[in-house]
């Protein structure tokens, strides 16, 4: 469990090596194993036989976080508080044996795993770009449980610790050094231990800043008038951005403010109280369920992937189209170790795509994610061309040209002629049926849809669409390609809007309907964001294009035939398109106005054509209309086998189009809301607004 080694300089090295596990985990077993070790170290110190301690790992990682399955079931705040206090006591024992302790970090240390590193007096990490460090707990609706918020506040100050905790980023060692959560970098394992011993031999202090009688938090406390004012501004900004829907984010700023005004021991206890409240709340359950368990089920366990096919390991990827989407996909492939051939109609246009990739690489070098010496190696793996013949050795080709059926089919045939019989051909489309496009392919069984969301290099989900003739093996290969470039693949049926656009359209249509009902446009947009959506429905309508919004609704009419009831938003969309010639962002005229510079603003003439007649409104009802419409449509998609896995529906909704993260996704929202309560509310909405709020059997059963 813990290997104990002592050298002639009286430096003890503790090597974490939990038996029966591929990774070290900071749980009750490790804490129990540490207790006698800490007692022995204290005895050695008292006897004058201990100069310092190094903690490192025998595993490929340093230390992983806590047991999320246990936290999902944790509902008693008292139990949560006691558990946090127990962990804090252990970490406190580690940092006060009277000798300096170094964390020699040779692998990942995240969440609770990084708590131990923070409890050490000095932190040195291997300079490997693959290692990730930090506290991403906020990404799953939690805050650190072992006092990291308080320690980071004391080490960095409130204003530097706050964004670090709020963003929940996983830092490379180089980034971690920049932000100040580690102290040194080491070239290799030998250098790691050598540097740790050198630091211990320099007679460093053995007391932490918060244990010094004159110790002060860098930058001051919330009791200081100027800093207190800035904290209030940060709190207000957070409330504006999140509508206070994320308890963990609010807990971080409140804890930093309160914890800065008291001594370390009291702040430690306040920290446990905030943790207990957050971890037992509904939001943390929703977010852990989706952002951890659902994500692991798809990415690591292959949920939805056709079984019986070996792992596809692409080496070279061809990309047709050097625009923003194609260049973003190229960058993704390079970042994940693949070779890329980027093609466009001319060499200069293809080279512009390479320039975009260079901009992204330089941006990541500036952040510290990539190192300067990696730049040339990354660029050596991309080739630009205007010739399809250069796709000859590609394992998969992704077509990312603009949304035109004939153009897509033309470039597909040109490329396919140069590929071998086993290569996969993928089209990135948002509205053209894959079966239609695939019928023109030379090998339709190898033809598949991969819908990347924009921007490709930043979004997490891709939709994999199976055409009528697409083979199961091709779907499996597309799935493996997606996971290779760190995407979450969601397999969907080849139908109108696929899954994401079909469900998102219900949100847009509901917003347009409200406009037609006489609600102010600004109110509609604000209520959409207050419900937790990342963007208002009218802004999304403009972004997608009003013609496409209407096209999806027309495709729904064709799909359902005589059962179809026209959505009340249709007349307003037709008016915007046909009468007012305002088609959206691409036309630079929609529900918003788009100047040459500056942000888009709501169209000043909107009130003239859609008069405001509502003098009162109910916030809860408006929010429910926005969210319930999407949940109901997700239910229809599951019932019609457009998508088959609730986990995939949750991930696609939060990552694909911005359904509120605090809910955990459309299906998780239904579960946490409660079936009977949801059905009752839908009945009320159906009676008031019509058949579109009727609930499918899938959700009723």
Task: Determine how β-strand 2-6 pairs with β-strand 11-16.
Answer: antiparallel
The pTM of this model reads 0.92
pLDDT of residue 111: 94
CA-CA distance, 464 to 479, in Å (whole number)? 7
Where would I find the H helices in 243-323? Answer: 247-259, 264-279, 282-288, 295-299
pLDDT band at 19 (very low <50, low <70, confident <90, very high): confident
High-pLDDT (> 70) share of the chain, %: 100
For residues 672-686, b (16+ Cβ closer than 10 Å) or e, as one string?
Answer: bbeeeebeebbeebb
CA-CA distance, 419 to 437, in Å (whole number)? 18
pLDDT at 21 over 90: no
CA-CA distance, 161 to 181, in Å (whole number)? 9
pLDDT of residue 370: 86
Instruction: Name the 3-class secondary structure at 106.
Output: coil
pLDDT of residue 239: 95
Conformation bin of residue 381: beta by default, left when phi > 0, alpha when psi is -120 to 50? alpha
CA-CA distance, 279 to 277, in Å (whole number)? 6
pLDDT, one tens digit per residue, over 130-145 is: 899 999 999 999 999 9
pLDDT of residue 31: 87
Nearest CA-CA partner of 623 in 502, 497, 514: 514
Strand order of the sheet with strand 424-427? 382-385, 339-343, 316-320, 396-399, 424-427, 447-452, 461-466, 488-493
Are the CB atoms for 328 and 485 separated by under 8 Å?
A: no
pLDDT of residue 265: 95
pLDDT, one tens digit per residue, over 586-612 is: 999 999 999 887 789 999 999 999 999
pLDDT, one tens digit per residue, over 607-661 is: 999 999 998 889 999 999 999 999 999 999 999 999 999 999 999 999 999 999 9
Q: Per-residue pLDDT averaged across 306-311, rounded?
A: 95
- Report the greatest alpha carbon distance in the chain: 90
Average per-residue pLDDT for the chain:
95
Task: Determine how β-strand 11-16 pairs with β-strand 396-399.
Answer: unpaired
CA-CA distance, 260 to 375, in Å (whole number)? 42
Nearest CA-CA partner of 396 in 302, 464, 303, 460: 464
pLDDT at 391 over 80: yes
CA-CA distance, 677 to 684, in Å (whole number)? 11
Are the CB atoms for 278 and 142 separated by under 8 Å?
A: yes
pLDDT band at 216 (very low <50, low <70, confident <90, very high): very high
Q: Give me the phi and psi of 582, to 5 degrees please.
A: -120, 100
What does the angle CA 166 – CA 259 – CA 277 come to, to the nearest 5 degrees? Answer: 65
Where would I find the H helices in 610-653? Answer: 619-639, 646-651
pLDDT band at 373 (very low <50, low <70, confident <90, very high): confident
* Cα-based distances in Å from 13 to 118, 258, 284, 655: 17, 37, 37, 43
Non-local (6+) Cβ contacts of 91 within 8 A are 115, 116, 119, 146, 147
Non-local (6+) Cβ contacts of 307 within 8 A are none
pLDDT band at 453 (very low <50, low <70, confident <90, very high): very high
CA-CA distance, 288 to 286, in Å (whole number)? 6
CA-CA distance, 438 to 427, in Å (whole number)? 9
CA-CA distance, 341 to 152, in Å (whole number)? 44
pLDDT of residue 24: 87
Rg over CA atoms, the chain: 28
Nearest CA-CA partner of 94 in 2, 176, 217: 2
* Cα-based distances in Å from 50 to 9, 39, 47, 158: 8, 13, 8, 35
Conformation bin of residue 211: beta by default, left when phi > 0, alpha when psi is -120 to 50? alpha
Q: Tell me 458's DSSP state.
A: T
Domains of the chain: residue spans and CATH: 2-280 (3.90.226.10), 316-491 (3.40.50.720), 500-700 (1.10.1040.50)
Q: Per-residue pLDDT averaged across 341-360, rounded?
A: 97
pLDDT band at 688 (very low <50, low <70, confident <90, very high): very high
pLDDT of residue 371: 85
CA-CA distance, 497 to 220, in Å (whole number)? 53
Are the CB atoms for 248 and 141 separated by under 8 Å?
A: yes
Q: Which of 31-35, 182-186, 548-552, 681-685 has the lowest mean pLDDT?
A: 31-35
Are the CB atoms for 524 and 625 separated by under 8 Å?
A: no
Q: Per-residue pLDDT averaged across 162-177, rounded?
A: 94
> Distance from CA of residue 379 to its chain's centroid?
26
Nearest CA-CA partner of 141 in 342, 312, 326, 281: 281
pLDDT band at 67 (very low <50, low <70, confident <90, very high): confident
Are the CB atoms for 144 and 91 separated by under 8 Å?
A: no
Structure tokens at 236: 């207000």
CA-CA distance, 279 to 81, in Å (whole number)? 10
Instruction: Name the 3-class secondary structure at 488.
Output: strand
Q: What are the residue numbers of the active site? A: 115, 137
pLDDT, one tens digit per residue, over 462-496 is: 999 999 999 999 999 999 999 999 999 999 999 98
Structure-model confidence comparison of residues 374 and 522, the more confident one: 522
């Amino acid at each position: 469990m813990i290997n104990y080694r002592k050298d002639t300089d009286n430096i003890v090295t503790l090597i974490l090596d939990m038996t029966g596990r591929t990774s070290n985990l900071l749980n009750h077993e490790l804490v129990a194993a540490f207790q006698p070790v800490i007692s022995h170290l204290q005895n050695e110190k008292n006897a004058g036989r201990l100069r310092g301690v190094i903690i490192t790992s025998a595993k490929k990682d340093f230390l992983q976080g806590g047991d999320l399955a246990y936290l999902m079931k944790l509902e008693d705040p008292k139990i949560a508080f006691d558990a946090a206090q127990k962990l804090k006591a252990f970490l406190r024992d580690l940092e006060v044996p009277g000798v300096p302790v170094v964390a020699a970090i040779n692998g990942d240390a995240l969440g609770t795993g990084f708590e131990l590193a923070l409890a050490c007096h000095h932190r040195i990490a291997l300079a490997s770009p693959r290692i990730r460090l930090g506290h991403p707990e906020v990404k799953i609706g939690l805050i650190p449980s072992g006092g990291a918020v308080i320690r980071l506040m004391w080490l960095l100050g409130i204003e530097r610790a706050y964004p670090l905790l709020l963003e929940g980023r996983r830092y490379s060692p180089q980034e971690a050094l920049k932000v100040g959560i580690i102290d040194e970098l080491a070239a290799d394992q030998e250098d790691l231990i050598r540097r740790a011993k050198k630091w211990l031999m320099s007679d460093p202090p053995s007391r932490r800043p918060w244990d010094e009688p004159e110790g002060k938090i860098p930058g001051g406390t919330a009791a200081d008038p100027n800093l207190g004012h800035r904290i209030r501004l940060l709190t207000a900004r957070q409330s504006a951005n999140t509508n206070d829907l994320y308890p963990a984010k609010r807990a971080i700023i409140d804890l930093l403010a309160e914890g800065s005004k008291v001594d370390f021991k009291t702040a430690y206890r306040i920290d446990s109280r905030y943790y207990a409240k957050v971890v037992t709340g509904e939001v943390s359950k929703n977010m852990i369920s989706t952002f951890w368990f659902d994500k692991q089920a798809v990415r690591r366990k292959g949920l939805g992937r056709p079984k019986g096919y070996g792992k596809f390991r692409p080496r070279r990827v061809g990309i047709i189209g050097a625009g923003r989407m194609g260049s973003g996909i190229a960058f993704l492939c390079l970042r994940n170790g693949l070779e890329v051939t980027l093609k466009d109609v001319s060499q200069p246009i293809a080279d512009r795509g390479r320039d975009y990739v260079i901009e992204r690489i330089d941006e990541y070098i500036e952040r510290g994610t990539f190192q300067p010496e990696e730049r040339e190696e990354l660029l050596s793996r991309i080739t630009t061309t205007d010739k399809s013949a250069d796709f000859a050795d590609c394992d998969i080709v992704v077509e990312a040209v603009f949304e035109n059926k004939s153009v897509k089919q033309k470039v597909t045939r040109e490329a396919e002629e140069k590929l071998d019989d086993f290569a996969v051909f993928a089209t990135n489309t948002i509205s053209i049926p894959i079966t239609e496009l695939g019928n023109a392919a030379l090998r339709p069984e190898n033809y598949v849809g991969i819908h990347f969301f924009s921007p490709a290099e930043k979004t997490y989900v891709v939709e994999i669409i199976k055409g009528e003739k697409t083979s199961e093996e091709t779907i499996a290969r597309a799935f493996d390609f997606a996971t290779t470039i760190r995407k979450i693949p969601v397999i969907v049926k080849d139908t109108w809007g696929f899954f994401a656009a079909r469900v998102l359209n219900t949100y847009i249509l509901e917003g347009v309907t409200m406009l037609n009902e006489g609600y102010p446009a600004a109110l509609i947009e604000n209520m959409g964001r207050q419900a937790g959506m990342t963007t208002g429905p009218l802004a999304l309508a403009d972004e997608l294009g009003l013609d496409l919004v209407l096209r999806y609704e027309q495709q729904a009419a064709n799909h359902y035939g005589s059962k179809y009831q026209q959505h009340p938003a249709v007349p307003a969309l037709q008016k915007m398109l046909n009468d007012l010639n305002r088609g959206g962002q691409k036309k630079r005229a929609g529900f918003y106005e788009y100047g040459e510079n500056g942000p888009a603003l709501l169209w000043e003439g909107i009130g003239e054509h859609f008069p405001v007649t509502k003098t009162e409104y109910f916030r809860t009802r408006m929010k429910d209309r926005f969210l319930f419409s999407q949940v109901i449509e997700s239910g229809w998609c599951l019932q019609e086998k457009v998508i088959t896995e609730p986990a995939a529906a949750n991930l696609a909704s939060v990552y694909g189009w911005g359904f509120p993260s605090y809910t955990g996704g459309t299906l998780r929202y239904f579960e946490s809301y409660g079936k009977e309560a949801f059905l009752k509310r839908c009945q009320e909405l159906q009676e008031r607004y019509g058949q579109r709020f009727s609930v499918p059997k899938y959700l009723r059963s």
